[in-house]
């Protein structure tokens, strides 16, 4: 529903509206765009896995890190356009919420679990990836729990989707350079820890907002 949309300034950009209008005029559904976003996540996860496998080759690692950053942005582009094609383009469907949210949760899990596998700086790298993925999904669960309790849909951070994906994108691009100087992924490790801690705070902020709302009724 329009009232439940994540507030994004990029929707007001002329190019965003032009692309959404073009797609709306094609034989393309917003649900197909949502599924495509998940495929970019799979490709990004594959890049992270290749970083895990190609740890002795800085040049290949760098290319895969750039690939991860590109896949993240393409996933976010799909997330933007599926809603714009659905609402502004008048192509909403009854099952739209399923296609909008399930691929998002799967994409988050893929990106953060595989990022954990890519990290080579700590022995608990896999655990860090799984923990981050769980916390990220928990932020979305709490948001929908609040909506089920008639509270406003809450997209606040500090680690809402756009924030955590920006952090992972920046970490990937910095890591693409870092690998030529260090045989370690310090920045990616730091980014995952930051996203995990920020997700805990995000969960707290959203729970508190829900509590304050329902208690005020």
In our burial notation (b when 16+ CB lie closer than 10 A, e otherwise), range 36-57 reads: bbbebbebbbbbbebbbebbee
d(CA 205, CA 104): 21
Both ends of the chain: CA-CA distance in Å? Answer: 23
Half-sphere exposure of 111 (CA within 13 A, CB side): 38
Other CB atoms within 10 A of residue 23 CB: 20
d(CA 31, CA 168): 25
Q: How confident is the model at residue 12 (pLDDT cuts 50, 70, 90)?
A: low
Residue 90 buriedness (CB in 10 A; 0-12 / 13-18 / 19+) = exposed
pLDDT tens digits, 53-99: 866 688 999 999 999 999 999 999 999 998 888 887 778 888 878 88
d(CA 209, CA 217): 13
Domains of the chain, earliest start first: 8-216 (1.20.120.1760)
Averaged confidence pLDDT in the chain = 90
Q: What DSSP assignment string belongs to the chain?
A: -GGGSPP-GGGGSHHHHHHHHHHHTTT--HHHHHHHHHHHHHHHHHHHHHHHH-TT-HHHHHHHHHHHHHHHHHHHHHHHHHHHHHHTTT---TTHHHHHHHHHHHHHHHHHHHHHHH--S-TTHHHHHHHHHHHHHHHHHHHHHHHHTTPPP----SS-HHHHHHHHHHHHHHHHHHTTT-SS-HHHHHHHHHHHHHHHHHHHHHHHHHHHHHHH-
pLDDT tens digits, 178-198: 999 988 899 999 999 999 999
pLDDT tens digits, 151-173: 988 888 899 999 999 999 999 99
């Amino acid at each position: 529903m329009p009232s439940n949309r994540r507030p994004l300034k990029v929707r007001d950009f002329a190019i965003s509206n032009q692309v959404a209008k073009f797609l709306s005029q094609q034989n393309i559904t917003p649900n197909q765009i949502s599924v495509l976003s998940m495929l970019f996540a799979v490709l990004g996860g594959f890049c992270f896995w290749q970083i895990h496998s190609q740890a002795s080759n800085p040049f290949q690692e760098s290319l895969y890190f750039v690939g991860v950053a590109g896949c993240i942005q393409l996933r976010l582009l799909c997330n933007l356009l599926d809603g714009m094609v659905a609402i502004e383009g008048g192509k909403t469907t009854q099952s739209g919420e399923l296609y909008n949210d399930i691929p998002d949760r799967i994409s988050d899990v893929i990106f953060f679990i595989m990022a954990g596998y890519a990290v080579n700086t700590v022995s608990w790298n896999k655990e860090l990836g799984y923990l981050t993925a769980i916390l990220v999904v928990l932020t979305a669960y709490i948001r929908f729990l609040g909506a089920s309790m008639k509270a406003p849909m809450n997209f606040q951070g500090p680690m809402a989707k756009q924030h955590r994906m920006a952090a992972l994108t920046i970490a990937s691009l910095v890591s693409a350079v870092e690998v030529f100087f260090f045989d370690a992924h310090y920045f990616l490790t730091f980014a995952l820890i930051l996203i995990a801690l920020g997700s805990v705070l995000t969960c707290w902020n959203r729970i508190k907002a829900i509590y304050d709302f329902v208690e005020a009724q």
